């Protein structure tokens, strides 16, 4: 097996990586476990993957944790996910803070349970001064909704005869404070963006892997970044 970590060009590490963490349910089904078990195992993958990103010098990682569309899932599974978020914030907060990880949130806080709102707010406040890497948790998030919300923000703020521009839109995105998104990874073998960071993926490199998220490891991350580094990014040029 190739050692992709040793093959990486450290001068070409993506500044901002988005990850669609897909495959928890299928991982559980293959092992005759509950979907909740799949989500729990998947949550444990976050820490080593973020740790690998810190080591490589990645500046920001956006994790697609809960989408607007996920509200259509069975209520029991949604309840299990909220309990899992509680567990994650309660057990990982001090670890994240000690590693210099700054936590931010992309998405709407509408409909989020009160306890989750508080835990998310407390985590953001406690890690606000950290500068090693930014972990962007996309919870109750949708790319289309983000764009609509950004346009509505501009409409509320606009001056008479003011024209809408790309920069004015970008200032109103959830990711306004983050670097440009260089790369999107989707696990589980699906070839879709699924309403994730639609504006930000305009020129991002897309990497799809068959690995289910609960099986995803730093080695898989290194391979994805290696694949990214083999491409020539033209941004519309020749």
Cβ of 111: how many Cβ atoms within 10 Å?
10
Residue 8 in domain: no
Active site residue 22: yes
Does residue 193 fall inside a structural domain? yes
**Domain total of the chain:** 1
Note whether residue 6 is domain-resident.
no
Note the pLDDT of residue 57.
97
Contact between 18 and 178 under an 8 Å Cβ cutoff? The reply is: no
How are strands ordered across the β-sheet holding 183-186? Answer: 101-106, 133-141, 60-67, 16-20, 183-186, 205-208
Q: Is residue 161 situated within a structural domain?
A: no
| Residue pLDDT, tens place only, 3-48 | 999 999 999 999 999 999 999 999 999 999 999 999 999 999 999 9
Assess contact for 196 and 143: CB atoms under 8 A. Answer: yes
Residue 174 lies in a domain: no
User: Quick check: is 165 in a domain?
Assistant: no
pLDDT digits over 161-189, tens only?
A: 999 999 999 999 999 999 999 999 999 99
Return the structure tokens found at 34.
Answer: 């509950």
pLDDT digits (tens, 9 = 90+) for 88-135: 888 887 887 888 999 999 999 999 999 999 999 999 999 999 999 999
Considering 3, 9, 24, 70, which one is annotated as catalytic?
70
Quick check: is 235 in a domain? no
Q: Looking at 3, 9, 22, 37, which residue is catalytic?
A: 22
DSSP E strands, the chain:
16-20, 60-67, 101-106, 133-141, 183-186, 205-208
- CATH number, domain of 120, equals 3.40.1180.10
> Residue 130 falls within a domain, yes or no?
yes
| Domain housing 20 | 15-143+180-229
Residue 3 CB contacts under 8 Å (≥ 6 apart), including other chains: none
């Amino acid at each position: 097996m190739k050692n992709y970590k040793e093959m990486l060009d450290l001068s070409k590490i993506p500044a901002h990586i988005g990850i669609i963490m897909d495959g928890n349910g299928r991982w559980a089904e293959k092992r005759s476990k509950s979907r909740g078990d799949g989500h729990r195992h998947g949550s444990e993958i976050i820490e080593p993957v973020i740790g690998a990103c810190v080591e490589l010098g990645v500046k920001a990682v956006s994790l697609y944790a809960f989408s607007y569309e996920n509200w259509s899932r069975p209520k029991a599974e949604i309840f299990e996910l909220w309990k899992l978020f509680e567990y994650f914030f309660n057990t990982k907060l001090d670890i994240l803070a000690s590693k210099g990880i700054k936590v931010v949130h992309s998405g709407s806080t509408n409909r989020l349970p009160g306890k989750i709102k508080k835990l998310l707010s407390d985590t953001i406040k406690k890690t606000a001064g950290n500068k090693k890497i930014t972990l962007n948790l996309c919870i109750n998030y949708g790319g289309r909704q983000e764009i609509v919300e950004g346009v509505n923000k501009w409409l509320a703020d606009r001056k008479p005869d003011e024209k809408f521009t790309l920069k004015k839109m970008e200032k109103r995105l959830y990711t306004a404070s983050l670097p440009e998104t260089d790369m999107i990874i989707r696990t589980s073998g699906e070839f879709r963006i699924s309403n994730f960071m639609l504006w930000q993926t305009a020129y991002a490199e897309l990497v799809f892997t068959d690995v289910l998220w609960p099986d995803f490891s730093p080695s898989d991350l290194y391979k994805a970044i290696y694949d990214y580094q083999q491409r020539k990014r033209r941004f519309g040029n020749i």
